[in-house]
Amino acid sequence: MAVGPVDIDRLMHYSFFTDKGLTLHKSGLSALNMFLNARLYMYTNVYYHRTTRAIDQHLKELFKDTMAALFPYNPGENLTAYLDLTDWSLLEAVRRWGREENTSTMGLGREWSTILAREVKWKMAYDVTLSMRYFEKGKTLIDAPELVKRIRKRLPEKIKDLPFCVDMASQDPRPINPLMMGERQIYVFNPSTRKIEKEPLKDFFDYIPARVVQCRVFTLNHDHDLLLADIVEQVLGIQEDSIKTNV
């Protein structure tokens, strides 16, 4: 029988409740493994895809001004009008702005037009995926604003004003400590010993990273990709233990 990336039927078949709590039959561990890896894949390759994150970055730059122009009211005092503010009404409004001339929303409309046409403003110059191993080496991951500051400090004088932005997308595919999950603790039933324990999860989860952070640097073009890659690696100290791309 063909099985997809997540074997839900098998996972449900081997899940049940015991006096200890939610319990998984040992034979269902492979299905749990499939589920966690599929979840990790969806985040790293779909939800956190570079194009998706680049568009999100562009939206961040526009959304405040867009809402100020579209709905400059207190929602609590204008509930009736607020009910009409939907994703659809927003998209229709910004489409109109894109066709306007000599209006206060003309500039916003032009920017929205590029997003709706999927003309991505921000191009990925560098990408690195950091797993739990990075943090186990005693390194502390700096946040995006701090990373921007440190990159800017190391840029050559002639491109000190280079437009760029940093995106940090974090995902926790599994509990950091599978033996300390509190009320969400999962147990494993071993049919050979008839024991219900949580300890088998420790070895099982060792093959799945507890935390993954995708760090990306976006610029308006690819003119300085190599330079930015070198600077980011210097700042993060990840030359030897990361998975990196700049394509």
Give the tens place of pLDDT for each residue, 21-64: 999 999 999 898 888 888 888 888 889 999 999 999 999 999 99
- The contacts of residue 17 (CB under 8 Å, 6+ apart) are 23
Report whether pLDDT(196) > 90: yes
CA–CA separation, 166 vs 231, rounded Å? 13
Helices (H) and strands (E) in the chain, counts: 10, 8
pLDDT at 245 exceeding the cut of 60: no
CA-closest candidate to residue 224, choices 155, 145, 153: 155
Confidence of residue 129 (pLDDT cuts 50, 70, 90): confident
- 222-244 pLDDT per residue, tens: 999 999 999 999 998 876 444 45
Q: What are phi and psi of 111, to 5 degrees?
A: -65, -45
- Six-digit token string for 207: 């093959």
- Rounded to two decimals, the pTM is 0.79
Strand order in the sheet with 123-130: 164-171, 212-219, 123-130, 243-245
Rounded to an integer, what distance in angstroms lies between the CA atom of residue 209 and that of residue 176? 9
Which class in CATH covers the domain with range 122-173+208-247? alpha beta
